[in-house]
Chains A and B, each alone.
Chain A
Amino acid sequence: MSAASVTEPSARAKGIAGFLVLLYTVITLIPLLWIIATGFKTGPDSISYPPKVVFSPSLEGYVNLFTDRTRATPEQLSAMQPPTNFVDAIVQRRGEVITQPSKFGARFLNSVIIGFGSTFLSVFLGTLAAYAFSRFRVPLKDDLLFFILSTRMMPPIAVAIPIFLMFRNLGLSDTHLGMILLYTGVNISLAVWLLKGFIDEIPREYEEAALIDGYTRFQAFRKVVLPQAATGIASTAIFCLIFAWNEYAFAFLLTSGTAQTAPPFIPTIFGVGGKDWPAVAAGATLFLLPVMIFTILLRKHLLRGITFGAVRK
């Protein structure tokens, strides 16, 4: 009954493995927790030495993140009404007045538009291209596929200057469209290759059955292939989004205002009145959320996607 199975690990081995995984998880999560915690500290708490692990939470970082403030003049201080909400309370306590909302909201929205826009475009074009490569006799198929892959072999930043000049001449600098096209260009090779792998695994018989059942090829693609490629599409989308969302170098180089994304914006918080660590940490925390939510929503697909094709059925 209790004879050790060859393929099933023993309880002790499982226990050790579980402990190691847990330990690794905790260690990797510490910086993340530190950032999230810093976002809820006050300025002095955030730079106190030794570091404060237990502290009284404050929304100061978030208030600072979303507002531009100046030090209040004595007249303003004397004319000040008692605070009516928590934002005013925090600002007044520090003897400041709000001059205007900060640009963080707009920059964050740019990140969302550009990140999700380029992800959608990469996955959309990638799926169509991957299907064609997988199913049709494309002349020079192998060469084309290699060419697509080769665009990924060079670090994109190596062509930063030509791209910068091209964007300036085409009027794409600091535009949403420009950034979406750029990130799509970088991601499309990954999307085509990943998705081709997934679509190759879907037996042709399904489409053939649909063709005979009275559907056109495109309808068969939409009704039969797409639902089965959902796993691949989801994991490809996550990889594309993570790249576009985190990209810093091109965003720094090609955007300055209208289309600036959050990554190049967050460090600029430093410029205004000293090193505001809580505001930076608050910005980083909020910046984490969309990718995190997106990944959690698609996690089932992602797990299946990463191991997909690893085991031959």
Chain B
Amino acid sequence: MAEVILQGLTKSFGTARALSEVSLTIPDGAFVVLLGPTGAGKTTTLRLIAGLEKPDAGDIRIAGASVLADMPAERDVAMVFQQYSLYPHLTVRDNLAFPLRSPLLNWPEPQIAARVQEVASVLHIAHKLDNKATRLSGGEMQRVSIGRALVRAPRIFLMDEPLSSLDARLRAELRIELKRIHKDVGATFLYVTHDQIEAMTMATHVGVLDRGRLVQFGSPREIYEDPVSTYVATRLGQPRINLLPADLFGRAPPGATQIGLRPEHVRQGEGVAAKVRRVEHLGDQSRLHLTVGTHDLVTLTDVHTRHVPGDSLLVRPENPLWFDASGTRIR
């Protein structure tokens, strides 16, 4: 448990710039989620903090002290990899005990056994403890690798899409479990995900990376409601934000070329004419796919909507976001 500060972190692989001057403070006890598409630098950030890569420039400070000269083991961090992280020649039990048996911790065996049992039952893998790690399903493997991070109390948990290979039910369960651990232990997390629900429900802070640069850092609500660019706006939101020509609904502020409309920011019953293209009934919500002029637009509607494809209705924007030609937000 500690504050982690990244200062001007820069890293290139050959000619490819992976990170450009990323500065970020992860407060003690925060749950920071990194968002961004593949290649944005999320995993590189984790690997730099873990000490698996050395930055070209910049500094990493954990609990006030620079850790650049420290070996990964000395940094006292735990990392959950996206894949390939269980030791295939060991049983689940030995995998979980591995960090506790390290020369650095070297716990007494009875204590290790108790701790392993405890973590295994939290992750519902207690009955698999004596299996070889290779004889588990993908979801079980990933739970063991999360477990291997949880057995100790590191200064920061680094997690690289740890739930991406799990089925929906397990993902929901572990999401709550991780959140509980975060609350109970007060642990600091840096968490990479593509999943919006994970980002919105777990994060205390969200950082959005774009081609190696940190473009926005704030609370999940800030990122969702107050994005600095179209890039950030499209990171969150399911269905995605509608980006349409600024003048589609009438007058736009000077300089604006695009209007950004979250599906819930489309008011029905007044404004310009739209045609229903498709209706999706999702159970807890219904989505209307509309056509305004030549542009497509997705909005939410009543679960029991009577609309059918071909219907006409009026729509107008409500609390729109405006962006200029480069995608930067206009306030």
A and B: bona fide binding partners? yes
On A, residues with C-beta under 8 Å from B are 203, 205-206, 208-216, 219, 224, 227-228, 230
Contacting pair B84 A212 (CB below 8 A): no
Does B185 interact with chain A (Cβ within 8 Å)?
no
Contacting pair A209 B89 (CB below 8 A): no
Contacting pair B84 A214 (CB below 8 A): no
A203 to B86, CA, bound (A): 11
Does B83 interact with chain A (Cβ within 8 Å)?
yes
Query: What's the dominant secondary structure at chain B's contact region?
Result: loop
Does B99 interact with chain A (Cβ within 8 Å)?
yes
Which residues of B in the span 42-91 have a Cβ within 8 Å of any Cβ on A? 50-52, 71-73, 75, 77-79, 81, 83-85, 87-89
Contacting pair B71 A210 (CB below 8 A): no
A210 to B89, CA, bound (A): 13
Contacting pair A213 B102 (CB below 8 A): yes
Residues of B within 8 A of A224 (CB): 87
Q: How far in angstroms is the closest Cβ of chain B from A199?
A: 14
Contacting pair B88 A211 (CB below 8 A): no
Residues of A within 8 A of B282 (CB): none
A211 to B88, CA, bound (A): 16
Contacting pair A215 B73 (CB below 8 A): yes
Q: How far in angstroms is the closest Cβ of chain A from B37?
A: 22
Contacts A212-B78, A213-B148, A214-B73 given; does A219 touch B103 at CB 8 Å: yes
- Residue among B51, B52, B83, B145 having the largest count of chain A Cβ atoms under 10 Å: B52
Contacting pair B89 A203 (CB below 8 A): no
Contacting pair A206 B87 (CB below 8 A): yes
Q: How far in angstroms is the closest Cβ of chain B from A217?
A: 8
Contacts A203-B84, A219-B103 given; does A212 touch B79 at CB 8 Å: yes
Does B231 interact with chain A (Cβ within 8 Å)?
no
The 5 closest A-B pairs by CB, nearest first: A214-B102, A214-B104, A213-B99, A211-B72, A205-B84
Q: How far in angstroms is the closest Cβ of chain B from A304?
A: 13
Contacting pair A211 B52 (CB below 8 A): yes
Q: How far in angstroms is the closest Cβ of chain B from A129?
A: 22
Contacts across chains A and B counted by CB atoms under 8 Å: 62
Contacting pair A215 B102 (CB below 8 A): yes
Residues of A within 8 A of B103 (CB): 214-216, 219
Residues of B within 8 A of A215 (CB): 73, 102-104
Residues of A within 8 A of B51 (CB): 211-212
Residues of B within 8 A of A230 (CB): 89
Contacting pair B87 A208 (CB below 8 A): no
Contacting pair A208 B73 (CB below 8 A): no
Does B98 interact with chain A (Cβ within 8 Å)?
yes
Does B325 interact with chain A (Cβ within 8 Å)?
no
A214 to B78, CA, bound (A): 9
Contacting pair A209 B105 (CB below 8 A): no
Q: How far in angstroms is the closest Cβ of chain B from A228?
A: 6
Name A212's contact: one of B73, B87, B88, B89 (CB within 8 Å): B73
Q: How far in angstroms is the closest Cβ of chain A from B154?
A: 9
Across the two chains, which residue of chain A brings its CB closest to B106? A214
A125 to B122, CA, bound (A): 44
Residues of B within 8 A of A228 (CB): 88-89
Contacting pair A208 B52 (CB below 8 A): yes
Across the two chains, which residue of chain A brings its CB closest to B82? A205
Contacting pair B73 A205 (CB below 8 A): no
Q: A211-B52, A215-B102 are known; give 10 further A-B pairs, CB within 8 A.
A: A203-B84, A206-B88, A208-B81, A210-B87, A211-B73, A212-B52, A212-B75, A213-B98, A214-B102, A215-B103
Contacting pair A212 B83 (CB below 8 A): no
Residues of B within 8 A of A227 (CB): 89
Across the two chains, which residue of chain A brings its CB closest to B89? A227
Residues of A within 8 A of B145 (CB): 209
Q: How far in angstroms is the closest Cβ of chain A from B272?
A: 53
Contacting pair B83 A205 (CB below 8 A): yes
Contacting pair B104 A205 (CB below 8 A): no
Contacts A211-B73, A212-B72, A216-B73 given; does A205 touch B81 at CB 8 Å: yes
Residues of B within 8 A of A208 (CB): 50, 52, 72, 79, 81
A216 to B104, CA, bound (A): 9
Across the two chains, which residue of chain A brings its CB closest to B84? A205
A selection of 8 A-B contacts at a CB cut-off of 8 Å is A206-B85, A209-B85, A210-B98, A213-B98, A215-B102, A215-B103, A224-B87, A227-B89
Residues of A within 8 A of B98 (CB): 210, 213
Residues of A within 8 A of B85 (CB): 205-206, 209
Q: How far in angstroms is the closest Cβ of chain A from B50?
A: 5
Contacts A205-B81, A208-B52, A209-B81 given; does A214 touch B87 at CB 8 Å: no
Across the two chains, which residue of chain B brings its CB closest to A205? B84
Contacting pair A206 B84 (CB below 8 A): yes
Across the two chains, which residue of chain A brings its CB closest to B81? A205
Q: How far in angstroms is the closest Cβ of chain B from A198?
A: 14
Contacting pair B77 A212 (CB below 8 A): yes
Across the two chains, which residue of chain B brings its CB closest to A206? B87
Residues of B within 8 A of A211 (CB): 51-52, 71-73
A215 to B103, CA, bound (A): 7
A180 to B78, CA, bound (A): 45
Q: How far in angstroms is the closest Cβ of chain A from B45?
A: 15
Q: How far in angstroms is the closest Cβ of chain A from B320?
A: 45
A208 to B104, CA, bound (A): 16
Residues of B within 8 A of A210 (CB): 87, 98
Q: How far in angstroms is the closest Cβ of chain B from A231?
A: 11
- Residue among A203, A213, A227 having the largest count of chain B Cβ atoms under 10 Å: A213
Residues of A within 8 A of B52 (CB): 208, 211-212
Contacts A214-B102, A214-B104 given; does A209 touch B71 at CB 8 Å: no
Q: How far in angstroms is the closest Cβ of chain B from A239?
A: 23
Q: How far in angstroms is the closest Cβ of chain A from B145?
A: 8
Q: How far in angstroms is the closest Cβ of chain A from B112?
A: 13
